[in-house]
């Protein structure tokens, strides 16, 4: 029992103080017939040394980024994490504390959340941000719920096939029992056609949710889309790649009402999909409809500036079923990571990171497309991801072969898009060097030659 | 030594031209930006983020960290949150590259180690719950509640039954009714008896054919095991409803009693509580759910399955509710839970609960003379003391006591929850605290109870700030910094 301090002697003294003979008596309220009458059928205890060896053996069966060169993306990215992020986040005072219910004992966390919120407003061009949600996908669903309550329109939500398929699946799950129709416009050209969109957005539409750059890496005609939403009185919600904002216009600058993002790119490891960071920011007028914790500035009794959790009457612990969301535990540690990351990069660092992604991914896309085996699928401009068609077919087999050769070359799209069954999505972050890109292209060419 | 003066914001420390990170050159043929992206998509300048060097960042955040109480530094008896020690080996092991540098869409053959771990975790949670089918996807307890309720809704839809109501006791955590609403149900509150148990007459009067689910926390939020649970489950099942077990309090019953054996059809775990995941200043958590065979087809996708070729993710489940979040789940938290369970084994887990219950009862025996514990002389892993008498006699509230505890170097208990106890102080010591710590804490509570009212009402006196003006914060919210004009 490595973490329990009670000795046999302590236990005896404690039982005496309580006035019972043994520990068993303390469980008297659990009726015997409801008890488990055997030990749990789980493996026996391991010492720290044994556990370490066991975990090392498991880890050896995996191929982490670094062992295989990672060109996978689609919402989870192999961006560089400066050491200062890990250092700060590994301070026990941060990672072993909890929700700052007692502000006097939590000024560290509260100030970090306030700084995080400010950084997110600077990044997105929105007025206000909350202190984190679970991940980009559930944040998108929360944004839609927020739009429904803000507009009072309970009948239709519009999104597009160019939004991350998993995000749309989450949205469908969240809306399943609320009697709200989810309309998804097709995007055969890899981006939303404003004409097509305009046909389904009506005066009952609560919200238009898009992604920029979209799931295929392409840039959407955001200004035209925002105009269509607003003319119908719907809110315009955008899911963004935070790194892209080093270069691209901020959603606040093209009329978005609610912005969500997967914040993993901002200094958190890929970790097989989580824990991540759900970013949600919006215009000031919706601040009281936001889900989740919000840190706010105030003064203490001596007039000193300080921070508290604020607008708590939105939340489940006060409003119960009338709350704006059920979220309680959030992703505080990942908001901290994002804050350190953004502050470490600063405006220039973020811009250079975005530029590196852009330049290297375009370099990769061009090199790949010059080979006969592959072609670019969409004409729209892209940021750090792009869709490639394997002319020789059997994408999955190609990707397996590439993986055997040491490259996680891309994500097959067959799982989500029937018409893109011979395509895959390639992502190039700033970590991928020109040599690695040349290696990928060489490898894919060889693999394609097998199929030709 | 603590530097309490270093409270300037990042933005106030910023100076144009400073940098914390430098990046390499692109080393690819130079192409004008305008050839790569349409100019109307480009921002005229990068976002106005602050500019600082690495040493400034390190000092800033390190100093901020010292303005927190935490489990590593303080006794943190925050009821319902199970603030136990966060094992350091778990941090090291969860950060192995072969565990953490994995992309969620990597092919299964490059993930066999992690998938094996996750599959085993599914099996172990099913065994601990006594409910055979597990989804590791939900990101926290609240999301687990919603996911399982959506499974229940799908189940009733399949049966062709219109069930619109979710019942929960008035002592339930706020997430219960909030999750029910998000899953599309109307919520109905069931009364508790003065001792904190479900009021059976009230429950029965509210059970009907529209009842989909009764959500119960057992041990409940007063830290009591409701021994009527089998009877409750029978009554709910008789009208065709299901039992949801809020597993936030599993730390009391590991290896002692299993929700599936005492009537639950579905439950969530809070691995960040029961299985020692660090709470991260608010998160991350995780909210895996265990459900009965009947509900299994509806679980979110994917789940980890094992066949003759090893482990893989199964997506093809036509009756699944879909997804509640992207990718697999909060894997980092799940890995720590796995390490925790493997460290303890069957006997170790049982001893965790025994010592958690022993510590709570011991502390109760010391505290009840100072602050009455309306529920009586026994509890499970936590108890709720009432400051009502102190409030009546001397005008000192539970909040005042909580604040004063901070001065003595203790984090406060959870106050004003559950809502059914006046001036509630919910105290959960956990099994990882020593008798000496509990003794000192009880002595401190006694000392506080004797202190002058005005001293308490002005507390805390030694923290980096005194009590904040929360009314002003809510009335005129300032939720982001802006430059002084
Ligand atoms: C009794 C109870 N139920 C549910 C929850 C919700 O869990 P989470 O915060 O992980 O969403 C909590 C914790 O905060 C709780 O204490």
- Say if CB A275 and CB B271 are below 8 A apart: no
Domain with CATH 3.90.1150.10 in chain B: 347-474
The number of beta carbons lying within 10 Å of the beta carbon of residue A208 is 29
* pLDDT, mean of residues B188-208: 96
Q: How far apart are CA B356 and CA B378, in angstroms?
A: 13
pLDDT digit string (tens) for B371-402?
999 999 999 999 999 999 999 999 999 999 99
Q: How far apart are CA A222 and CA A213, in angstroms?
A: 10
- Say if CB A266 and CB A342 are below 8 A apart: yes
Subunit contact A329:B282, Cβ cutoff 8 A: yes
Chain B residue with Cα closest to A221 = B41
Report which ligand 1 atom has the smallest distance to the Cα of A328: 9
pLDDT digit string (tens) for B122-164?
999 999 999 999 999 999 999 999 999 999 999 999 999 999 9
- Please report the domains of chain A, with CATH numbers, ordered by start residue: 65-77+346-451 (3.90.1150.10), 83-342 (3.40.640.10)
Q: List, as one string, the DSSP characters of B432-474.
A: TS-HHHHHHHHHHHHHHHHS-HHHHHT--SSSSS--B-HHHHH
- Say if CB A309 and CB A98 are below 8 A apart: no
- Say if CB B453 and CB B396 are below 8 A apart: yes
Q: Is A108 on the interface with B (CB under 8 A)?
A: yes
Residue range B347-474 forms a domain whose CATH class is: alpha beta
Subunit contact A30:B479, Cβ cutoff 8 A: no
Q: What pLDDT, on a 0 to 100 scale, did the predictor assign at position A430?
A: 98
* Residues of chain B contacting residue A123, judged by C-beta atoms under 8 Å apart: 47, 49
Report which ligand 1 atom has the smallest distance to the Cα of B285: 10
Task: Report the gap between the CA of A187 and the closest CA in chain B (Å).
Answer: 20
Report which ligand 1 atom has the smallest distance to the Cα of B249: 1
Ligand 1 mean position to B142 CA, how many Å? 6
The number of beta carbons lying within 10 Å of the beta carbon of residue A152 is 7
Q: Which of B77, B82, B142, B171 to mutate to test ligand 1, by most ligand atoms within 8 A of the CB atom?
A: B142
B277 lines ligand 1 (CB under 6 A): no
Taking domain B91-343, whether its CATH number is 3.40.640.10 is answered by yes
Q: What pLDDT, on a 0 to 100 scale, did the predictor assign at position B342?
A: 98
Q: What pLDDT, on a 0 to 100 scale, did the predictor assign at position A2?
A: 87
Q: How far apart are CA A18 and CA B362, in angstroms?
A: 6
Strands B266-269 and A423-427: unpaired
* pLDDT, mean of residues B71-99: 98
Tens-binned pLDDT, residue by residue, of chain A (452 aa): 789 999 999 999 999 999 999 999 999 999 999 999 999 999 999 999 999 999 999 999 999 988 999 999 999 999 999 999 999 999 999 999 999 999 999 999 999 999 999 999 999 999 999 999 999 999 999 999 999 999 999 999 999 999 999 999 999 999 999 999 999 999 999 999 999 999 999 999 999 999 999 999 999 999 999 999 999 999 999 999 999 999 999 999 999 999 999 999 999 999 999 999 999 999 999 999 999 999 999 999 999 999 999 999 899 998 999 899 999 999 999 999 999 999 999 999 999 999 999 999 999 999 998 877 899 999 999 999 999 999 987 899 999 999 999 999 999 999 999 999 999 999 999 999 999 999 999 999 999 888 76
Residue with tokens 């191929």: A63
Q: How many CA atoms lie within 13 A of B145 on its CB side?
A: 33
Q: How far apart are CA A70 and CA A49, in angstroms?
A: 31
CA-based torsion, B2, B7, B10, B14: positive or negative? negative
Token duo for residue B434: 């020593």
Tell me which residue of B76, B80, B85 sits closest to B405, measured CA to CA.
B76
Domain with CATH 3.40.640.10 in chain B: 91-343
Which among B37, B358, B481 has CB closest to A381?
Answer: B37
Subunit contact B101:A64, Cβ cutoff 8 A: yes
pLDDT digit string (tens) for B236-276?
999 999 999 999 999 999 999 999 999 999 999 999 999 99
**Closest protein CA for atom 16 of ligand 1:** B80
Q: What pLDDT, on a 0 to 100 scale, did the predictor assign at position A370?
A: 84
Subunit contact A98:B76, Cβ cutoff 8 A: yes
Q: List, as one string, the DSSP characters of B63-119.
A: HHHTTB--TTTSB--BTTS------HHHHHHHT-HHHHS--TTS-GGGBHHHHHHHH
Which among B20, B175, B283 has CB closest to A330?
Answer: B283
Q: How far apart are CA A215 and CA A73, in angstroms?
A: 10
* Residues of chain A contacting residue B333, judged by C-beta atoms under 8 Å apart: 274-275
Of chain B, the percentage scoring pLDDT greater than 70 comes to 100
Token duo for residue A301: 């009794």
Length of chain B: 485
The number of beta carbons lying within 10 Å of the beta carbon of residue B6 is 14
Ligand 1 mean position to B275 CA, how many Å? 14
* Residues of chain B contacting residue A90, judged by C-beta atoms under 8 Å apart: 91
Q: How far apart are CA B70 and CA B61, in angstroms?
A: 15
* pLDDT, mean of residues B166-192: 97
B265 lines ligand 1 (CB under 6 A): no
Token duo for residue B443: 């002595």
> Which of B23, B149, B169, B283 should one mutate to test binding to chain A, selecting the residue with the greatest count of A CBs within 10 A?
B283
* pLDDT, mean of residues B409-422: 95
Q: How far apart are CA A264 and CA A242, in angstroms?
A: 9
Q: What pLDDT, on a 0 to 100 scale, did the predictor assign at position B64?
A: 97
- Say if CB B37 and CB A358 are below 8 A apart: yes
Token duo for residue A51: 């556990």
Length of chain A: 452
Task: Report the gap between the CA of B200 and the closest CA in chain A (Å).
Answer: 17
Subunit contact A29:B378, Cβ cutoff 8 A: yes
Please count the residue pairs, one from chain A and one from chain B, whose beta carbons lie less than 8 angstroms apart: 694
Residue with tokens 């904190």: B196
B168 lines ligand 1 (CB under 6 A): no
Token duo for residue B299: 């679980």
Q: What pLDDT, on a 0 to 100 scale, did the predictor assign at position A66?
A: 86
* Residues of chain A contacting residue B481, judged by C-beta atoms under 8 Å apart: 114-115, 118, 297
B276 lines ligand 1 (CB under 6 A): no
Q: How far apart are CA B467 and CA B457, in angstroms?
A: 10
CA–centroid distance for B442 within its chain: 26
ipTM of the complex: 0.98
Our CA angle for B37, B38, B40, nearest 5°, is 130
Q: What pLDDT, on a 0 to 100 scale, did the predictor assign at position A377?
A: 96
Subunit contact B182:A99, Cβ cutoff 8 A: no
B414 lines ligand 1 (CB under 6 A): no
**3-state class (DSSP) for residue A300:** strand
Tell me which residue of A175, A171, A187, A302 sits closest to A237, measured CA to CA.
A171
Q: What pLDDT, on a 0 to 100 scale, did the predictor assign at position B274?
A: 98
Q: Is A366 on the interface with B (CB under 8 A)?
A: no
Q: How far apart are CA A97 and CA A356, in angstroms?
A: 37
Q: Which of residues 194-253 of A touch B (CB under 8 A)?
A: 219, 223, 245-250, 253
Subunit contact B46:A28, Cβ cutoff 8 A: no
Question: For chain B, how long is the longest CA-to-CA vector?
Answer: 80
Which DSSP state fits A420? Answer: G
**3-state class (DSSP) for residue B9:** coil
Subunit contact B458:A307, Cβ cutoff 8 A: no
Chain B residue with Cα closest to A294 = B479
* pLDDT, mean of residues B300-316: 97
């Amino acid at each position: 029992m490595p973490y329990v301090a009670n000795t046999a002697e302590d236990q005896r003294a404690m039982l005496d103080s309580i006035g019972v003979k043994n520990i068993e008596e303390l469980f008297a309220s659990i009726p015997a017939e409801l008890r488990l009458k055997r030990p749990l059928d789980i493996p026996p205890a391991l010492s720290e040394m044994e556990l370490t060896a066991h975990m090392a053996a498991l880890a050896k069966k995996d191929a982490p980024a670094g062992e295989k060169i990672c060109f996978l993306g689609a919402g989870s990215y192999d961006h560089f994490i400066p050491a200062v992020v890990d250092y700060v986040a590994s301070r026990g005072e941060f990672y072993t504390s909890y929700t700052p219910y007692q502000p006097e004992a939590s000024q560290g966390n509260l100030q970090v959340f306030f700084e995080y919120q400010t950084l997110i407003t600077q990044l997105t061009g929105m007025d206000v941000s909350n202190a984190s949600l679970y991940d980009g996908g559930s944040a998108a669903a929360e944004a839609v719920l927020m739009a429904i309550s803000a507009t009072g329109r309970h009948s239709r939500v519009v999104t597009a096939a160019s939004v991350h398929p998993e995000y749309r699946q989450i949205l469908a799950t969240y809306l399943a029992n609320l009697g709200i129709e989810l309309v998804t416009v097709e995007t055969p050209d890899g981006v939303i056609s404003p004409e097509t969109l305009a046909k389904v957005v009506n005066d009952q539409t609560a919200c238009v949710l898009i992604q920029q750059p979209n799931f295929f890496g392409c840039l959407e005609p955001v200004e035209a889309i925002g105009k269509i939403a607003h003319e119908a009185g719907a809110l315009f919600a955008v899911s963004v790649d935070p790194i892209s904002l080093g270069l691209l216009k901020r959603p606040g600058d093209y009329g978005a009402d609610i912005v969500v993002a997967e914040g993993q790119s901002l200094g958190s490891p890929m970790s097989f999909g989580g824990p991540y960071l759900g970013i949600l920011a919006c215009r000031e007028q919706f601040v009281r409809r936001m889900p989740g914790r919000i840190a706010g500035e105030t003064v203490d009794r001596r007039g000193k500036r300080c921070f508290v959790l604020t607008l708590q009457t939105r939340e489940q612990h006060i409003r119960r079923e009338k709350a704006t969301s059920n979220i309680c535990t959030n992703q505080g540690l990942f908001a901290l990571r994002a804050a350190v990351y953004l502050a470490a990069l600063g405006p220039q660092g973020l811009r250079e990171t975005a530029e590196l992604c852009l330049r290297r991914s375009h370099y990769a896309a061009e090199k790949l497309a010059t080979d006969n085996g592959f072609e670019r699928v969409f004409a729209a401009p892209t940021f750090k991801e792009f869709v490639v068609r394997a002319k020789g077919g059997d994408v999955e087999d190609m990707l397996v072969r590439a993986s055997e050769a040491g490259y996680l070359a891309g994500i097959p799209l067959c799982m989500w898009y029937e018409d893109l069954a011979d395509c895959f999505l390639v992502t190039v972050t700033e970590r991928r060097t020109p040599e690695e890109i040349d290696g990928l292209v060489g490898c894919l060419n060889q693999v394609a030659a097998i199929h030709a | 030594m603590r530097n309490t003066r270093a409270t300037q914001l990042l933005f106030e420390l910023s100076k144009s031209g400073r940098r914390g990170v430098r990046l390499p050159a692109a080393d690819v043929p130079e192409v004008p930006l305008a050839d790569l992206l349409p100019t109307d998509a480009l921002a005229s300048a990068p976002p106005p983020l602050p500019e600082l060097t690495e040493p400034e960042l390190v000092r800033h955040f390190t100093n901020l960290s010292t303005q927190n109480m935490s489990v590593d530094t303080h006794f943190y008896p925050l009821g319902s949150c199970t603030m136990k020690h966060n094992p350091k080996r778990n941090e090291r092991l969860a950060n192995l590259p072969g565990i953490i540098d994995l992309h969620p869409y990597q092919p299964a053959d490059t993930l066999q180690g992690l998938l094996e771990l996750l599959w085993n975790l599914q099996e172990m949670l099913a065994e601990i719950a006594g409910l055979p089918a597990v989804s590791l996807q939900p990101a926290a307890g609240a999301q687990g509640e919603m996911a399982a309720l959506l499974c229940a809704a799908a189940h009733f839809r399949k049966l062709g039954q219109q069930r619109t109501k979710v019942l929960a006791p008035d002592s339930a955590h706020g997430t219960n009714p909030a999750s029910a609403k998000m899953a599309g149900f109307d919520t109905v509150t069931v009364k508790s008896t003065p001792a904190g148990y479900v009021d059976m007459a009230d429950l029965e009067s509210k059970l009907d054919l529209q009842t989909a689910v009764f959500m119960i926390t057992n041990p409940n939020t007063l830290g009591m095991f409701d021994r009527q649970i089998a009877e409750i489950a029978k009554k709910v099942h008789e009208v065709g409803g299901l039992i949801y077990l809020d597993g936030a309090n599993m730390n009391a019953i590991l290896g002692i009693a299993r929700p599936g054996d005492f009537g639950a059809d579905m439950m969530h775990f809070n691995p960040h509580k029961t299985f020692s995941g660090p709470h991260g200043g608010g998160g991350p958590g995780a909210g895996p759910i265990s459900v009965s065979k009947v509900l299994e087809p509806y679980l979110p996708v994917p789940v980890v399955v094992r066949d003759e070729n090893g482990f893989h993710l199964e997506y093809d489940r036509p009756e699944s509710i879909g997804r509640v979040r992207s990718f697999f789940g909060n894997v980092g938290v799940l890995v720590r839970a796995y390490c925790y369970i493997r460290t303890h084994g069957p006997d170790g887990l049982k001893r965790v609960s025994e010592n958690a219950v022993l510590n709570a009862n011991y502390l109760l025996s010391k505290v009840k003379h100072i602050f009455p514990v309306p529920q009586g002389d026994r509890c499970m892993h936590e108890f709720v003391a009432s400051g009502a008498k102190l409030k009546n006699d001397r005008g000192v509230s539970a909040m005042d006591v909580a604040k004063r505890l901070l001065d003595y170097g203790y984090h406060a208990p959870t106050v004003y929850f559950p809502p059914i106890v006046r001036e509630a102080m919910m105290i959960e010591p956990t099994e990882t605290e020593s008798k000496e710590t509990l003794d000192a804490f009880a002595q401190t509570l006694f000392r506080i109870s004797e202190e002058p009212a005005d001293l308490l009402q002005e507390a805390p006196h030694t923290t980096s700030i005194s009590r904040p003006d929360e009314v002003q914060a809510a009335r005129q919210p300032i939720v982001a910094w802006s430059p002084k004009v």
